[in-house]
Amino acid sequence: MKGKFGVAGLVACAALLLSLSSCAHNQHLIAIQVEPPGATMGPEAQVQFLALGTYIHPPATKEITNLVQWSIDNQDFGTVSAGLVTAAPGSQCDTANLLASFYDSPNEVIGTASLTGSLAGTSACNQAVISVKVSGSGTVTSIPRGIDSAIRRSSPFTLGETVAVSAKPSGNASAVTWSGCDSVVGNECRVQLTSDRTVTAAFE
């Protein structure tokens, strides 16, 4: 009986040691889930995101919004503070990724969410506007059509397109001086659109 008790005691002690060894592990973060997983945002809109951490040893899920490092991979989209994203005024055509990161040695754990401008992917984001300021007596028109000073002096065109704005003096004016153009040929101002542009036609 004494021998059997000794073996049983050894088994019990070994089980206890294994249990203690398991409990002695430090809890480690293995994944971060960002909620919501994505958001479509208009200019200057705000959305609060949360970071949920998945741990092992022992298993657990915890909110760690105020523990992670927040960042946005496209800084033109907006800013983030403690998970609160504020879209920039001109962000409606942009996209970005929101990152929540935490270093748990030896690994950095990162969770992501998608950020999408409210107009991203639409035709409105493939356009830029030319505006024409006119002084003196004369008219301006554009090729492609869009600008006609008798009706409107600004118009959207496709990004990357070259637009020619022609000036026609009238009244006492006999010439025009252009400014803000990429090139001028005679009375014609030429602009290649990579962003919104303003040109000026001064009739003399």
Report the CATH number that the domain containing residue 89 is assigned in CATH: 2.60.40.10
- CB contact at 8 A, 132 and 149: yes
pLDDT of residue 25: 59
Residue 106 zone, left/alpha/beta (φ > 0; ψ -120 to 50; rest): alpha
| Domain carrying residue 77 | 27-117
Q: How far apart are CA 132 and CA 140, in angstroms?
A: 8
Closest C-alpha among 173, 183, 88, 91 to residue 139: 173
Q: Is residue 56 in a domain?
A: yes
> Residue 198 falls within a domain, yes or no?
yes
- The verdict on 110 and 131 lying in the same domain is no
Is there a domain that residue 67 lies in?
A: yes
Q: How far apart are CA 89 and CA 91, in angstroms?
A: 6
Final residue before a domain boundary, out of 117, 140, 158: 117
Q: Indicate if 102 and 33 belong to the same structural domain.
A: yes
Q: Which of 64, 94, 117 is the last residue of a domain?
A: 117
End residue of a domain, out of 57, 92, 117? 117
Whole-model pTM: value is: 0.65
Report yes or no on 143 lying in a domain: yes
Which parts of the chain have pLDDT scores under 70?
1-25
For residues 93 and 71, what is the distance between their CA atoms, to the nearest angstrom?
Answer: 19
Can you give the pLDDT at residue 110? Answer: 97
Structurally, how many domains does the chain consist of? 2
Residue 124 confidence (pLDDT) = 85
21 lies in some domain = no
Q: Provide the strand spans (E) within 44-123.
A: 46-48, 50-56, 60-63, 69-72, 78-81, 84-87, 95-104, 107-117
**What would the two tokens of residue 175 be?**
């010439």
* Gap between the Cα atoms of 200 and 133, Å rounded: 5
pLDDT recorded at residue 24: 41
